[in-house]
Amino acid sequence: MAALPPLNRHTFVPLYHQIQQRLLHQIHSGALKPGEPLPSALDIAASLGVSQMTVRQAIKSLCEAGVVYSRQGKGTFVSGIKLEKDFRQVLSFTEDMKARGSTPRSKVLSFQIQKPDEEIVKALGLRSDEKVIQLKRIRQSNNLPMGIECSSLPLRLCPDLLETFDPRNSLYEALAERYGINMIVADEVAEAGLSDSETARLLRIAKGSPVFLFTRISYVQSGQPIEHVKSTYRGDRYKIVNRLTRQNRGLLNSQEPL
């Protein structure tokens, strides 16, 4: 594998995320192929001048996304398995598509300042006189429309976003690099639905086709809600993946039969 580019220590983007993106680039470019091992955390840490803990955090995020997998006592290897959509992770569409090896694109439907509705005011804890920046886009993978997203952000947090941001690019990257806003946690509600005429036209599917309807509120580290998102995604292109755990009932009542 070629040496990883130096890290940018003068940006709000966390070091582990920069390492993650550099490893992803190596995978997507073919420098690291399916089945090949990643360099050890020790070697990566030494070459980039960071702690092994930072490198392990980057590798862990790639494992959780399914890009790589670990074998105990053997190391970490590049995965050749097609990824599923895991809605437990706070990933932007751009990050998700790049992790899949696809080329993300966006077609902008609207990008404007407006007065929020009651749902957005409540979700983001806004004052009654506050406005939001609202960005509505068709999200595409390799030119295929995958979904429609409508994001709303408090105008006071990024007042010049309309002038400085190209809405065809990653919103999360712009928020992190320009304003130091990093989405850490999100509450998301998923519902099943059927596409109406307008949605069907934009997503190039038949009217009445199954779709996923998502409502998400994203938070920064302090717990402050920053983003409200309404999304509609094609049911024929996604499936929801969750990991469920069963509590040890013996811890609740050791006398209760299983």
Sheet holding 132-141, edge to edge: 104-114, 132-141, 144-154, 225-234, 210-219, 185-194
- What is the rounded distance in angstroms from the CA atom of residue 13 to the CA atom of residue 8? 8
Instruction: Determine contact, residues 133/113, Cβ cutoff 8 Å.
Output: yes
Q: What is the pTM of this model?
A: 0.60
- Find where tokens 């940006």 sit: 11
Confidence of residue 141 (pLDDT cuts 50, 70, 90): confident
Please determine, for residue 117, whether its predicted confidence score (pLDDT) is greater than 90: yes
Q: Is the dihedral of CA 27, 14, 185, 251 positive or negative?
A: positive
Of all residues in the chain, what percent carry a pLDDT higher than 70? 81
- What is the rounded distance in angstroms from the CA atom of residue 55 to the CA atom of residue 52? 5
User: What's the farthest any 2 CA atoms get from each other in the chain?
Assistant: 65
Return the pLDDT at 255. Answer: 47
Average pLDDT rounded to a whole number, residues 69-85: 68
Task: Kindly list the domain boundaries of the chain, sorted by start residue.
Answer: 15-78, 93-234
Among residues 61, 50, 51, which one has the least CA distance to residue 23? Answer: 61
Instruction: Determine contact, residues 62/55, Cβ cutoff 8 Å.
Output: no
- What is the rounded distance in angstroms from the CA atom of residue 57 to the CA atom of residue 79? 18
Confidence of residue 258 (pLDDT cuts 50, 70, 90): very low
Query: CATH 3.40.1410.10: does it fit domain 93-234?
Result: yes
Please determine, for residue 131, whether its predicted confidence score (pLDDT) is greater than 90: yes
Return the pLDDT at 81. Answer: 44
Write out pLDDT tens, residues 184-212.
Answer: 888 889 899 999 999 999 998 888 988 99
- DSSP conformational letter for 169: S
Please tell me the class of the 15-78 domain.
mainly alpha
Contacts (Cβ under 8 Å, ≥6 apart) of 239: 84, 85
Confidence of residue 256 (pLDDT cuts 50, 70, 90): very low
Tokens, residue 121: 């005011």
Of all residues in the chain, what percent carry a pLDDT higher than 90? 40
Among residues 51, 65, 58, 227, which one has the least CA distance to residue 135? Answer: 227
